[in-house]
Amino acid sequence: MNSPGKLFTTSLLVLLILSIFVLAGSAKSGNQSDPDAQALQNFRNRIDQYMDIHHRADAKVPHIKPTQSAQKIIDRRHAFAAEIIKERGAVKEGNIFTPEIDAYFDRLIHSAYQANTRGINATLECLNSINQEELKPNALYPRAPSTHRCLRLSCCMFLICLWSWSTALLTRI
Amino acid sequence: MRRLILSTLVIALVGVWAVHFAHSRTSAVAAVRHADDGGLTLPLKANSVRFVAIGDNGTADSSEYQVGEQMQKVQQISKFSFVIMLGDNLYGGSSAGDYASRFERPYKALLDEGVLFYAALGNHDDQNEISYAGFHMEGHRYYTHIEGNVEFFVLDSNYMDGAQLDWLQQELQKSVAPWKIAYFHHPLYSSGKTHGSSRDLRTVLEPILDKYGVNVVFSGHDHVYERVYPQNGILYFVMGSSGKLRNGDLRNDSLKAAGFDTDRSFLVGEITGDDFYFQVISRTGQTVDSGVFKRQALSAAGEESDAIPGSN
C-alpha cells in the first residue's frame, strides 16, 4: 500500500510530465499555424486582387438600367466576362491557388472532411456533375446538368420495375 | 410453395418500404393542415404587411412550379403583395430562357396579380441579375425596401466587404421602422448537415444586427426549412427548400426550434403591430410550422429585451 506522501509525489510527477507534453504540443502547433496564417493571408490578398479586377471590369462595361429583357442581362454578363479575361491576360492555373495555398486548403478540407463527411460528399457530388473539361481559367462557370439526379432516380425506378416484373413472372412459373 | 414464398417476400418488402416512406414523410411535419382552403393561421388584419419568403427556388423543376401554385392559392386568400427571395434565384441562369423557366413561368399567376419580388443574390446567381427588373434590385447588390412599418435590409452574403458592412450600419442607424428584417443567402445559424451555420459571416454581421435591433433574419443555402430558437432576441429562419431539397438534411441540435426537410416549402408572414405571424406551407399545401413572434423592445441603451419565441 502506498503512503499518502508517495502518492502525492507520484501525482505531481505525472502532472509535470503531462504539462511538458501539452506545452511541447502547443509550441509545435504554434509553429505550424504561422505558415497557415501566411497562406491564408496570401490567399486573401489574391482574392482581393481578383475582386479589384472584377470591380475595374464592372466599371468598364456600361451598366444597364433595370430591364425585363433577360437577353440584355446575358449580353452584359458576356461583355463583363470578356473584360475580366482581357484584364487577367494570360493567367495560368495556380494564379490564386499557389502550391502553398493549395496545401493549406488540402489540410483544411481533410480536417473538415473528418468533421462533416456527408456535407463534403454532397459538395463533391455537385462538382462531379460538372464537366471537368469545361473548368478552365477565365472561362464561364459551366452549367451543371440538373437532370442527372432525375436520371439516376429513373434508372433506379426502372430496375425496381424490372425486378417486380421478373418476380411476378417467376410466380407464374 | 415457391410462389407463396416469393409473393410473401414481395409484399413484406413493399410493406417495409411503405412504412418507412410514410414515417419519413410525417416525422418532420407538425400540425398538418391544408392551407389551400382557408387553412391559413394568419390573422389577416386590415393594414397588416403580408409577404412570402422563398429560397433556393430557381430550378425550373416541377417542384418549383408546384410551390408556385401553392403560393398562388395562398395569395388568393391572404392577398400578400410581395415576395422576398433569399438567393439562388436562377440555377444555371446562363441563357435568356432560364429567366422565363426559373422565374417568369413558375410565378406567372402571382406576377399577373401584381405581386412584387425582391431578390437577394445567392452563390448560384450571376451578379448581373441585379439589373433584372423582375427582381427589383435596381442595380444594387444590397439595398433596402420599406413596406408599411417594416424595413427590409437585403444583403449580398457572397462578398461581405467593408463597404457593405458600413452601408448596413448607416442604413440601420437611420432607420425609423419599428420592424427591421434582414435577408441574405448564407445562414448565420443553421442545423443543415450539408452547410450549417456560416460562422465567419456571423462574426462580422451578427454584432451589427444585434446592435441596431434587427428583429427577424431570413436566409437560404441549406435546402431545408428551419426555425432557429431566437439568438440574442433575433428570430432566424432558414428557407432554402422552395425549389431544391436535401431530404433528411436537418440535424437535431439545440438550435432547431422547428424544421421540415422532407419536401419543398415556403413561408407566408404577416406583420401587424408588434406581432409577426408566420406559417410555413409545403409543396402539397400542408402547414408544417406556424407561430407568432413578438417584436423585441429596444431599451434606451439599444439593448433588446427578451423576445417571445414563436410556437407551433
Domain CATH for B252: 3.60.21.10
Chain A residues with CB-CB distance to B94 below 8 A: 74, 77, 140, 143
- Note whether A118 contacts B194, CB cutoff 8 Å: yes
Residues B143 and B16 in one domain: no
Residues B98 and B86 in one domain: yes
Closest CB to A77 among B128, B159, B194: B128
Find out whether B210 and B283 touch, Cβ atoms under 8 Å. no
Residues B115 and B260 in one domain: yes
Q: Is position B310 within any domain?
A: no
Q: Is position B92 within any domain?
A: yes
Domain of residue B76 covers 32-294
Query: B137 at the A interface (CB within 8 A)?
Result: yes
Name which of B59, B103, B128 to mutate to probe chain A: the one with the most chain A Cβ atoms within 10 A of its Cβ: B128
- The stretches in chain A having pLDDT less than 70 are 1-33, 123, 125-173
Task: Establish, for the pair of chains A and B, how many residue pairs have beta carbons separated by less than 8 Å.
Answer: 76
How far does the CA of residue B281 sit from the closest CA of chain A (Å)?
Answer: 24
Residues B9 and B69 in one domain: no
**Blockwise average pLDDT, block size 10, chain B, 312 residues:** 58 51 38 55 96 97 97 97 97 88 97 98 94 96 97 96 96 97 98 93 97 97 97 97 96 95 98 97 97 78 43 42
Q: Is position B304 within any domain?
A: no
Domain count, chain B: 2
Residues B63 and B164 in one domain: yes
Residues B77 and B132 in one domain: yes
Task: Quickly tell me which residue has 452584359 as its cell.
Answer: A76
- Note whether A65 contacts B131, CB cutoff 8 Å: yes
* pLDDT at residue B111, as a whole number: 98
pTM greater than the 0.95 cutoff: no
Query: B59 at the A interface (CB within 8 A)?
Result: yes
Q: Is position B40 within any domain?
A: yes
Q: Which tens digit of pLDDT belongs to each residue from B186-216?
A: 999 999 998 999 999 999 999 999 999 999 9
Q: Which tens digit of pLDDT belongs to each residue from B250-281?
A: 999 999 999 999 999 999 999 999 999 999 99
Residues B189 and B263 in one domain: yes
Burial class of residue B289, CB neighbours in 10 A (0-12, 13-18, 19+): buried
Chain B, 94 to 113: residues with Cβ < 8 Å from chain A are 94-100
Distance CA B52, CA A23 (A): 55
Query: A124 at the B interface (CB within 8 A)?
Result: no
Residues B119 and B230 in one domain: yes
- Note whether A51 contacts B7, CB cutoff 8 Å: no
* pLDDT at residue A169, as a whole number: 58
**Residues ≥6 apart with Cβ < 8 Å to B270:** B42, B43, B44, B45, B48, B49, B50, B78, B276, B277, B278
The interface pTM score, or ipTM, of the predicted complex is: 0.75
User: In the 8-state DSSP scheme, what is residue B100?
Assistant: I
Residues B236 and B148 in one domain: yes
Tell me which chain A residue has its CA closest to the CA of residue B94: A74
Q: Is position B300 within any domain?
A: no
The three-state DSSP-derived secondary structure of B195-216 is CCCCHHHHHHHHHHHHHCCCCE
Closest CB to B128 among A73, A144, A167: A73
Q: Is position B51 within any domain?
A: yes
Closest CB to B128 among A76, A144, A171: A76
How far does the CA of residue A142 sit from the closest CA of chain B (Å)?
Answer: 8
Residues B54 and B21 in one domain: no
End-to-end CA distance of chain A, in Å?
80
Chain A residues with CB-CB distance to B128 below 8 A: 73-74, 76-77, 80
- Note whether B10 contacts A164, CB cutoff 8 Å: yes
* pLDDT at residue A51, as a whole number: 87
Residues B67 and B53 in one domain: yes
Residues B154 and B266 in one domain: yes
* pLDDT at residue A111, as a whole number: 85
Query: A24 at the B interface (CB within 8 A)?
Result: no
* pLDDT at residue B259, as a whole number: 97
Q: What are phi and psi of B140, to 5 degrees?
A: -120, 140
Find out whether B131 and A65 touch, Cβ atoms under 8 Å. yes
Q: What are phi and psi of B129, to 5 degrees?
A: -60, -20
Query: B3 at the A interface (CB within 8 A)?
Result: yes
User: In the 8-state DSSP scheme, what is residue A138?
Assistant: T
